[in-house]
A and B are shown apart, each in its own frame.
Chain A
Amino acid sequence: QQQVKQSPQSLIVQKGGISIINCAYENTAFDYFPWYQQFPGKGPALLIAIRPDVSEKKEGRFTISFNKSAKQFSLHIMDSQPGDSATYFCAASRRAGGTSYGKLTFGQGTILTVHP
């Protein structure tokens, strides 16, 4: 019940295109869904996050779409740029309650390559 499944494993997009990465979760107790961006040799950095009381959140070129009934959420990167080439991880956690609130359960990651 703790798994978060992410797809695709890798994605190649042309500059200016739309990158879409999908995640599905099982644990209905999760109430916080962040996306992290990781460049080689660096730790993951928070990109954007959503709570389940909204269906969409947009920050610049990055949008999270959230479907609570399907237990799925996705990251859309509009006008993808070569500088967006990185590994993207979805994650889920309980922000409050339980014994380890804030503990993140991560998807397996998606390697995004944006060609110029």
Chain B
Amino acid sequence: GAGVSQSPSNKVTEKGKDVELRCDPISGHTALYWYRQRLGQGLEFLIYFQGNSAPDKSGLPSDRFSAERTGESVSTLTIQRTQQEDSAVYLCASSLQQGRKNTEAFFGQGTRLTVV
């Protein structure tokens, strides 16, 4: 596609429910990142994919958070048993790998998650 696409744009869920957030990266981009942006805060790194493997999961805040990626395509971030502190904008970015370097990261518009 032309850019990084995320769905849904907005999600309101009840505390304790599970949610799935989807990211479609730019075609051909092998690297994919998930970030979380709390209101008025900077972006916190969650997880990094190179292809369908995740060499860096260090930012996932708890075992309620998980992510997977199909090949060099779609990624899904799953939050189980959502809590109110999970309310944030979840941003996905992708970039192209050239050798052992990654080029500029392009961000999607984000999914605004509200846990009530």
The stretch among B38-46, B70-78, B79-87 that forms the contact with chain A is B38-46
Interface hub of B4, B95, B107 (most chain A Cβ within 10 A): B107
B58 to chain A, nearest CB (A): 8
Is B100 a contact partner of A97 (Cβ separation < 8 A)? Answer: yes
Which residues of A lie under 8 Å from residue B109 when comparing CB positions?
A: 41-43
Known A-B contacts A43-B108, A103-B56; the reply to A95 vs B43 at CB < 8 A is no
Residue of B nearest to A100 (CB): B56
Assess the B55–A99 pair: CB atoms within 8 A. Answer: yes
| Identity of the chain A residue whose Cβ is nearest the Cβ of B59 in the assembled complex | A103
Which residues of chain B have C-beta atoms less than 8 A from A106's C-beta? 35, 42-44
In angstroms, Cα B56 to Cα A95, docked, is 15
The answer to whether residues A96 and B33 also contact, given A42-B109, A103-B56, A105-B45 and a CB cut-off of 8 A, is no
Question: When the two chains form the complex, which single residue of A41, A42, A43, A101 contacts B102, counting CB atoms closer than 8 Å?
Answer: A101
Q: Identify A43's interface contact among B44, B56, B91, CB under 8 A.
A: B91
Taking CB atoms, residues of chain A closer than 8 Å to B106 are: 46
| Alpha-carbon distance between A49 and B48 when the two chains are bound, in angstroms | 21
Residues of A within 8 A of B35 (CB): 104, 106
Q: How far is the CB of B54 from chain A (nearest CB, A)?
A: 9
Q: CB distance B105 to A43 under 8 Å?
A: no
The answer to whether B55 touches A95 (Cβ under 8 A) is no
Residues in A with CB closer than 8 Å to B44 are 106
Give the CA-CA distance A11 to B40 in the complex, in Å.
14
Asked if B100 and A100 make an inter-chain contact with CB atoms under 8 angstroms apart, the answer reads no
CA gap between A23 and B12 in the complex, in Å: 35
Given contacts A44-B43, A89-B43, A106-B42, contact A101 B33 (CB under 8 A): no
- A interface vs B, CB < 8 Å? 6, 34, 36, 41-46, 49, 89, 95-97, 99-109
| A-B contact list, 17 entries, CB within 8 Å | A6-B42, A36-B107, A43-B4, A43-B109, A44-B43, A46-B104, A96-B100, A97-B100, A100-B55, A100-B58, A103-B33, A104-B45, A104-B93, A105-B45, A106-B42, A106-B43, A106-B44
Known: A42-B109, A43-B109, A100-B56. 5 other contacts (CB 8 A): A36-B107, A43-B110, A49-B104, A95-B102, A101-B102
